[in-house]
Amino acid sequence: MKKIALAVLLSLIIPAALFAADKSITVGVTPFPHKDIMVIVKDLLKKQGYELNIKEFTDYVTPNTALAEGSLDANFFQHVPYLENTNKEKKLDLVWVAKVHIEPLGLYSNKIKKLSELKKGAQIAIPNDATNCARALRLLEKNGLIKVKAGELVTAKDITDNPKKIKIREIEAAQLP
């Protein structure tokens, strides 16, 4: 976590020079791990003479909207494909300062321990945004649960085979573990 925090710190110091007059930076984040990383960065930036204001969001849309409208100086929650897709869909012109990390994607359950225990008709929640939805569907495909059409930004409508009749539920990515 400290290596990630250091990378984030370095990526913030560059644009921080743009705000040197007030030495205050407002960054939008989503919950874990982004907020936790920013708390570490806040202490590191304080030692550099900067004040970091952390604004937490529980969805993936509002941080980019707030950044585009100017109420944030930066945000920290998304990978480059998500940002590029958002720019295209929302006609924004946001840019990334530094690639930091991509959140791991996995299959999590409190009820089953092995995929072989997954029952017919089980419900699986996946992110509802285009890039992370595609990542989740590819993960399900890689684990033999479904088959999906070829293409980069596939959706649940692109499932070509679903032998276990899995019910796909799309929800805000920030609400998933």
In three-state form (DSSP H/G/I as H, E/B as E, the rest C), the secondary structure along 104-151 is CCCCCCCCCCCHHHCCCCCEEEEECCHHHHHHHHHHHHHCCCCEECCC
- Res 11: pLDDT: 62
- Res 101: pLDDT: 81
Confidence of residue 124 (pLDDT cuts 50, 70, 90): very high
Confidence of residue 151 (pLDDT cuts 50, 70, 90): very high
Confidence of residue 2 (pLDDT cuts 50, 70, 90): low
* Assigned CATH topology for domain 115-175: D-Maltodextrin-Binding Protein; domain 2 (3.40.190)
Cα torsion 90, 132, 122, 141: sign: positive
Domains 2-90 and 115-175 share a fold: yes
Q: What value does the mean pLDDT take over residues 105-119?
A: 94
- Res 15: pLDDT: 56
Q: Using the predicted structure, report yes or no on whether residue 137 has a pLDDT greater than 70.
A: yes
Confidence of residue 19 (pLDDT cuts 50, 70, 90): low
Range with the lowest mean pLDDT among 60-64, 96-100, 136-140, 148-152?
Answer: 96-100
**How do beta strands 123-127 and 167-171 pair?**
parallel
- Count of CB atoms within 10 A of residue 156's CB? 18
Range with the lowest mean pLDDT among 3-7, 32-36, 44-48?
Answer: 3-7
Q: Using the predicted structure, report yes or no on whether residue 159 has a pLDDT greater than 80.
A: yes
State the architecture of 2-90 in CATH terms.
Answer: 3-Layer(aba) Sandwich (3.40)
Q: Using the predicted structure, report yes or no on whether residue 64 has a pLDDT greater than 70.
A: yes
Percent of the chain with pLDDT over 90: 73
Domain map (residue ranges) of the chain: 2-90, 115-175
- Res 104: pLDDT: 87
Instruction: Look up the pTM and report it.
Output: 0.77
To the nearest 10°, the Cα dihedral for 17, 88, 175, 53? 20
CA distance 7 to 15: 13
